[in-house]
Amino acid sequence: AQSVAQPEDQVNVAEGNPLTVKCTYSVSGNPYLFWYVQYPNRGLQFLLKYITGDNLVKGSYGFEAEFNKSQTSFHLKKPSALVSDSALYFCAVRDPNSGNTPLVFGKGTRLSVIA
Amino acid sequence: EPEVTQTPSHQVTQMGQEVILRCVPISNHLYFYWYRQILGQKVEFLVSFYNNEISEKSEIFDDQFSVERPDGSNFTLKIRSTKLEDSAMYFCASSEAARGLNGYTFGSGTRLTVV
């Protein structure tokens, strides 16, 4: 069965500093990996995805994530954090070889960027 | 940019009552999903729907839940007899491709409060 772990409930970073939000996954084959962001009282917004190809993928709002197969990780990164990046971030995985199984989400990591 | 629309944004209901949560997926999408998020907890899959039938459902999606696509645009989630523990944020999502290759587009959610 596929699963996602986000080991940190909360990440605090100063504005202007680099940020990392961690994600590790477990699937039987090659994964489809996604990051979503949720702002207060809003739905989940797609940030970026890894399907195949370059391990470093770039997404919306200056975010990027690196797929590391040996470490089964897909950490979300940004070189310089903004206060407006403060939100709840979800990593999600899907095993494309498992028929119609849906996206499975991690429990989320709350990012707080302090001015 | 196309959006998934959910109504109402907030619903308060008494325990034991039936509720219907409504969603209008993106018009050219073929795959539809319901997820829920209990406050402060992970986003959990409920059900997926394709070609007018359920393609996958979780153990949460018991006999109290049902989904329907009554016309060409709406996709509804019905909870027959609500319980206190059904209080959550319910998200509808849709995708155009099989296997969620392009990820899912989520609505802003309906906050259901059962009292």
Encoded amino acid at B4, one letter: V
- The arithmetic mean of pLDDT across residues B84-103, rounded, is 83
Cβ contacts (< 8 Å) between B50 and chain A: which residues? 100
Backbone angles phi, psi at B98, to 5 degrees: -65, 150
Please name the residue that has the structure tokens 């899912």. Answer: B104
Residues of A with CB under 8 A from a CB of B: 32, 34, 36, 41-46, 49, 51, 90, 94, 96, 100-108
Instruction: Please say if the pLDDT value at position B78 is more than 70.
Output: yes
**Counting one residue from A and one from B, how many pairs have CB atoms under 8 Å apart?**
60
Nearest-Cα residue of chain B relative to residue A99: B99
Instruction: Report which of B90, B88, B85 is spatially closest to residue B110, judged by C-alpha positions.
Output: B90
- Å between A107 CA and nearest CA of chain B: 4
Write the DSSP assignment of B35-104 as a string of letters: EEE-TTS-EEEEEEEETTEEEEE-TT--TTEEEE--SSS-EEEEESS--GGG-EEEEEEEESSGGGTT--
- At B14 the three-state DSSP class reads coil
**In what helix (H) or strand (E) does residue A56 lie, and over which residues does it extend?**
strand A56-58
The residue of B1, B45, B99, B113 whose CB has the most chain A CBs within 10 angstroms, and thus the best one to mutate to test that interface, is: B99
Average pLDDT, chain B: 91
Closest alpha carbon to A65 in A92, A103, A105: A92
Q: Which residues on A lie below 8 Å from B93 (Cβ)? A: 44
Output the CA torsion sign for A89, A104, B68, B114.
Answer: negative
pLDDT for B48: 92
pLDDT at B70: 85
For residue B40, is pLDDT > 80? no
- On average, the pLDDT of chain A sits at 92
Question: A111 has which bridge partners?
Answer: A11, A87
d(CA A105, CA A102): 10
Residue B98's pLDDT is 60
The arithmetic mean of pLDDT across residues B70-78, rounded, is 90
- Nearest Cβ partner for B99 among A45, A96, A106: A96
pLDDT band at B2 (very low <50, low <70, confident <90, very high): confident
Chain segment A71-115, per-residue pLDDT in tens: 999 999 999 999 999 999 999 998 877 766 788 999 999 999 999
Contact between chains at B106 and A101 (C-beta distance less than 8 A): no
Residue of B nearest to A106 (CA): B42
State residue A90's pLDDT score. 95
Edge-to-edge strands, sheet with B65-68: B5-7, B19-24, B75-79, B65-68
Tell me how far apart the alpha carbons of residues B99 and B31 are, in angstroms, rounded to a whole number.
Answer: 9
Question: Does residue B99 have a pLDDT over 60?
Answer: no
CB contact (8 A) between residue B91 and residue A43: yes
User: In this complex, do A46 and B48 lie within 8 Å of one another by their Cβ atoms?
Assistant: no
Backbone φ and ψ for A35, nearest 5 degrees, come out as -120, 135
Task: Answer yes or no: are the C-beta atoms of B43 and A90 closer than 8 Å.
Answer: yes
* Residue closest to B25 by CA, chosen among B7, B11, B39: B7
Please give the pLDDT value at position A1: 77
User: How confident is residue B101, by pLDDT bands cut at 50, 70 and 90?
Assistant: low
Contact between residue B92 and residue B25 where contact means Cβ atoms under 8 Å apart: yes
pLDDT score of A42: 78
Q: Which two tokens stand for residue A101?
A: 């199984």
For an interface test with B, the pick among A36, A44, A57, A88 (most B C-beta atoms closer than 10 Å) comes out as: A44
* Cross-chain Cβ contact B55/A103 below 8 Å: no
